[in-house]
Chains A and B, each alone.
Chain A
Amino acid sequence: MSRFCKTLIVMAVAAGTAGSALAFDRYQGIGRPATAAEVQAWDIDVRPDFAGLPKGSGDAIRGMDIWEAQCASCHGYFAESNEVFTPLVGGTTKEDIKTGRVAALVNDSFPQRTTMMKVPTVSTLWDYINRAMPWTAPKSLSADEVYSLVAFLLNLAEVIPEDFELNQDSIREVQERMPNRNGMTTDHGMWPGASASKGGIGNGGKPDVKATACMRDCKKEVVLASALPEHAQDAHGNLAEQNRPVGGVRGVQTGAPAAEGAQAGGDPLLALATEKGCMACHGVANKIVGPGYNEIAAKYKGQADAAASLFEKVKNGGQGTWGAIPMPPQGHVKDDEIKQLVQWIMSGAKAQ
């Protein structure tokens, strides 16, 4: 936009907000008032008191369709999957809904700490799904779809029935049923601001752990509580290759190098795939969000138009071949890079 156009807009905006005193005098010519439409476009946050929550409605039944198409590939059909991300649902009980405290956080009766076990505020679910989901296409859901997805998760956790209509009003009742709504404390000294008694959070910065700096004969013996377990000795690759080859020390020679494509050396095409973000959703030999490269190579093996077809799918995106989750268009990858990557995949991409 030319400076001239910008000036016009600033003037128009200033006229539109006549009466609001601008305190921009000290830095003349810097910054401009935001238009109402601009604020509306970006001010998407929803607070625990539901300030910022758009109107709309949804239920778990509608939510299930959206879930299966756009969410299940990462989170599992019942939001229980631990494959890509930690599980969202599980570990909460009817009793927790009554008390607002999740018992499994104390008695370890559930193997993971799921989102529903932790989250105290239903606004958090709405806000985060709305701003950041689905993972590969954030901010693509309508308000009604977000309500439906929140309802779907709440129904899986048995917080609401499947036909419960979740909207900007009924969500307040739901807050009173959140399983861990009483599970947070701010009584600590790690908020860098005023204490709760002065309108802030916590105790005003008082530490909870108090150690002293003893210098001599501080204890009778040294008790080793833990050492690196045998199974973890080689888990991080060859430590000799992770230390400088000069100086007072060398790295210890350990097990096989880790299968980390993004690191120094290795296949340049793997590095390219990593750099372009392909590896976020595809494993070389395993499905992540999208199919593994081994699966793609197997499926398209022997097809004359495989290279052209895959080129098209990478460049412009696609959906349906591998389930409902869409492959977004990869506009940031150049054509010849896509061709190289497709050829690499078809010829049996390796992790090293």
Chain B
Amino acid sequence: MALNDARLGRVKPAPENFLTDEDIQSVKDGRRDFLRKAFLTAGAAMAAPAVANAQPAGDPAILELPPWSKMLGKPVAANPYGQPSMYEKNLVRRESPGLTRVSGSSVSFCPLQGLFGIITPSGLHFERHHQGWVDIDPNKHRLMINGLVKTNAVFTMDDLMRMPSVSRIHFIECGANTGMEWGNVAVPTVQYSHGMISCSEFTGVPLKAILDMCGADYKKGRFVLAEGADGSSMTRTISMEMIESGEVLVAYGMNGEMLRPENGYPLRLVVPGVQGVSWVKWLRRIEVGDKPWATKDEAVHYIDLMPDGLHRQYSSIQECKSVITTPSGGQTLLDKGFYNVSGLAWSGRGKVTRVDVSTDGGINWRTARLETPVLSKALTRFNIDWVWDGKPAILQSRAMDDTGYVQPSYGQLRAVRGTKSIYHNNAIQSWKVVESGEVSNVQVL
């Protein structure tokens, strides 16, 4: 492109206030050309001090050296624990107003609309607490193993951190993620529609190794109860098959450091592929038993209401699902032209094998690139090229996993489960793009 091609906006100043109130009004009025005008205005403004109609000499961001190029920066360890740039303050965990009434029993959603790759920064990991969160002194924390074991046992954190450890990348998704959308569109952005998911590298000890030490009765004991040390002492039943496979971890590490208190410091259960409520935080006890427990979160909540009035109990696996994170609801495309459509796919049953993307509401599909690494029960990043022609579009993604399962449409999911389930909504998400470039949340059957 030519340097003096003001239309392309390559010489537009830093766009922190890129969309002025007038621009927004233009969007609302359905005028698509406001951006181009904005660029022309910007070009003209730059040219103004010079001779009228002269081409600008270049981008002031280049021609006028910025302060940071002409100063001494800050010293090392100015922030002993580093923080994001001040320009990143918009991307924080947020509650969905009206969803819950007490912040101690609530959810904060992860800002998926601005994240890259597959690892969730620990400070942005979604939160779901049932009775507030606590920050436990690790030297006073204990893990007890009891029930159908030869020896009831107690482990300190010192004990657990001396044992051979493994580090594995897995997603954790709340069973109620996208739960507000079962019946109809309810929320504007991907943060609120899909933000009860995060993905981290967890470090810890396979629970199997600990149960082996205690002499677990694997013949009779086909179920395990996990219990937290916080006020709610939350409990969930875990399948012994998963523990025997070695994938269930008693984890203390997350993304290279200790777990954050909001995520269960100093110890939590990691149950790959299973909904987050089973990843018991502040884990204090594991009991081996011969029957499931029907705990509060297995008998009152985290049960899926079906059209016949029956609730599905112990529904735990997070089935294959995907979502385009950018462009996504509540965003505006800057202009016509090239975009990298990017999103996340995952399956609680294994690896994602393919993601298809549609820009016409599901009539035609193209297969997206899966970025490495592609790991079992982990988020997988997908990308696909898209040249937006300025016309209305509906963006969708559809994931498949290595069991052959294909992510369903809303029509297909509702035909079986109705609209009252609350939990385990893994339908295909649709984002509508209008001429103004504005993207919004819609549902396509």
Q: Footprint of B on A, CB under 8 Å?
A: 17, 20-24, 26-27, 29-34, 38-39, 42-45, 47-49, 51, 83-85, 101-103, 105-106, 113, 115, 118-121, 123-124, 127-128, 131-132, 135, 138-139, 180, 183-186, 188-194, 199-202, 205, 207-219, 222-229, 232-233, 235-237, 239-254, 258-260, 262-265, 274, 277, 279-281, 288-289
Q: Which residues of chain A are within 8 angstroms of B291 by Cβ–Cβ distance?
A: 47-49
Point out the residues of chain A lying under 8 angstroms from B209, CB to CB.
27
Inter-chain contact A113/B443, CB cutoff 8 Å: no
Contact status of A236 and B189, CB under 8 A, knowing A23-B151, A39-B152, A205-B349: yes
Contact B189 A239 (CB under 8 A): yes
Asked if A239 meets B188 with Cβ closer than 8 Å, knowing A30-B162, A124-B296, the reply is yes
Contact B303 A184 (CB under 8 A): yes
B289 at the interface (CB under 8 A from A): yes
Contact between A223 and B445 (Cβ–Cβ < 8 Å)?
yes
A251 and B187 contact, CB distance less than 8 A: no
Name the residue on A nearest B18 (C-beta): A250
| Interface presence of B37 (CB below 8 A) | no
Write 19 A-B pairs (CB below 8 A) sorted by A numbering.
Answer: A32-B154, A43-B287, A45-B295, A47-B294, A183-B311, A192-B241, A192-B242, A192-B274, A194-B222, A200-B222, A201-B292, A205-B317, A217-B364, A219-B362, A226-B184, A235-B98, A252-B330, A252-B332, A262-B103
| A199 CA / B405 CA spacing, docked (Å) | 25
Q: Are B132 and A184 in contact (CB under 8 A)?
A: no
CB < 8 Å: which of A213, A243, A249 contacts B90?
Answer: A243
A349–chain B nearest beta-carbon distance, Å: 15
Tell whether, in the assembled complex, residue A188 and residue B309 are in contact, meaning their CB atoms are under 8 Å apart: no
**What B residues does A32 contact at CB under 8 A?**
153-154
What is the 8 Å Cβ interface bit string for chain B, positions 427-442, against chain A (1 contact, 0 not)?
0000010000011111
- Pick the interface stretch among B48-56, B64-72, B225-233: B225-233
Q: Which of B189, B296, B332 contacts A250 (CB 8 A)?
A: B332
Residues in B287-323 with C-beta less than 8 Å from chain A: 287, 289, 291-296, 298-300, 303-306, 308-317, 319
The number of chain B residues with a CB under 8 A from chain A is 145
Known: A184-B303, A280-B132. Is A209-B408 also a contact (CB below 8 A)? yes
CB distance from B29 to the nearest CB of A (A): 14
Type the 1/0 row for B66-109, where 1 means its CB is closer than 8 Å to any CB of A: 00000000000000000000011111101111100111110010
Contact status B310-A213, CB under 8 Å: no
The 6 closest A-B CB pairs, nearest first, are A193-B239, A222-B361, A280-B104, A106-B309, A239-B330, A190-B315
Asked if A42 meets B102 with Cβ closer than 8 Å, knowing A118-B300, A243-B331, A251-B331, the reply is no
> Bound state CA distance, A232 and B441, in angstroms?
11
A191-B309 contact, Cβ under 8 Å, with A132-B231, A138-B131, A213-B398:
no
Q: Which residues of the partner chain A approach B2 to less than 8 Å between Cβ atoms?
A: none
Contact B333 A84 (CB under 8 A): no
Q: What residues of A have a CB within 8 angstroms of the CB of B349 in the complex?
A: 205
Contact partner of A184 (CB less than 8 A), chosen from B97, B311, B360, B442, is B311
Provide the bound-state CA to CA distance between A240 and B294, in Å: 44
B-chain residues with CB within 8 Å of residue A228 when the two chains form the complex: 185-188, 329, 440-442
Minimal Cβ-Cβ distance residue in A for B234: A132
A12 → B minimal CB distance (Å):
14
- Residues 197-237 (chain B) with a chain A CB within 8 angstroms: 209-210, 212-215, 222, 225, 227, 231-235
Tell me if A31 and B188 are in contact (CB < 8 A): no
The answer on a CB contact under 8 Å between B300 and A105 is no
A245 / chain B contacts, CB cutoff of 8 Å: 15-16, 18, 87, 90
